[in-house]
Amino acid sequence: MKILLAPALALSLLISQNSFSQSKAMFNGKDLKGWHADVPEMDKNPDVKSPFLIRNGNLVSLGTPGGHLITDDQYENFRFTYQYRFVGKPGNCGALVFVSKPRDLYDMFPKSIEIQMMHQNAGDFWCIQEDITVPDMEKRRGPKEKWGVNGDKLRRIPNLTDGTEKPLGEWNTMRIECVKNSIKVWLNGVMVNYGYNATAQKGQIALQSEGAEVEFRDVMVTPIKTLSK
């Protein structure tokens, strides 16, 4: 009897079979080795504790004070995968790729492209002193004369789908692929965004503390040569 797999599951199995041996765990469940926190409030007050910690084997972003947990290493041509869920009330968070200059926007956000995790907006692109192009650019981003990467410019590029996030308390699976200057994003097996002609193609990776408590697990990076279809 032939067993037919759903396309998303079949793709997931194919990726797993081809990439497993090259995948690297970015978080060991015990400490934050390989990462460093950049939290401006900690500069002002030495008594302020980092919002990033380990709890029950999961990486936790408490949401406050605001800041970023940034990899020590830079990455190019990679697949970044992780599971996340909001703890308590849903809110805002994000993953950043092509990270370079710290605190380059509003003295907080590093130069990068953000893949949004904000509740009901997961998968949006946010341009943070870097830019990216998507199909139907004016329809999705707004009037061209208002585009930009800082200040009051239109920096958000909404994702392509609705209803792809899991109910509060359940684990979401995010997959971000970056090859050269293109980025493709899947949320829970659904392709939710794709951009190209980015103004960067390598850099560090970061996770945010931005107002809501979030747990992360199965944080992995895998070298790749092409974007998945």
The fold adopted by the segment(s) 26-223 is Jelly Rolls (2.60.120)
pLDDT tens sequence across 200-214: 999 999 999 999 999
How many residues are there in the chain?
229
Q: Averaged over 42-47, what is the pLDDT? A: 92
Report pLDDT for 133. Answer: 98
Report pLDDT for 46. Answer: 87
Are the beta carbons of 8 and 36 closer than 8 angstroms? no
What pTM does this model have?
0.90
Q: Which two tokens stand for residue 131?
A: 């830019």
Q: Confidence band (pLDDT; 50, 70, 90) for 21?
A: low
pLDDT tens sequence across 113-167: 999 999 999 999 999 999 999 999 999 999 999 999 999 999 999 999 999 999 9
If residue 81 lies in a helix (H) or strand (E), which one and from where to where?
strand 78-86
Domain boundaries, the chain: 26-223
Q: Distance of CA 129 to CAs 114, 200, 206, Å?
A: 11, 10, 15
CB atoms within 10 A of CB 56: 8
pLDDT tens sequence across 69-79: 999 999 999 99
3-state SS assignment for residue 17: helix
What is the percentage of the chain residues whose pLDDT exceeds 90? Answer: 89
Distance separating the N- and C-terminal Cα atoms of the chain? 28
More reliable by pLDDT, 15 or 31: 31
Question: Nearest Cα to 66, choosing from 55, 54, 52, 76?
Answer: 52
Tell me what the pLDDT averaged over the chain comes to. Answer: 92
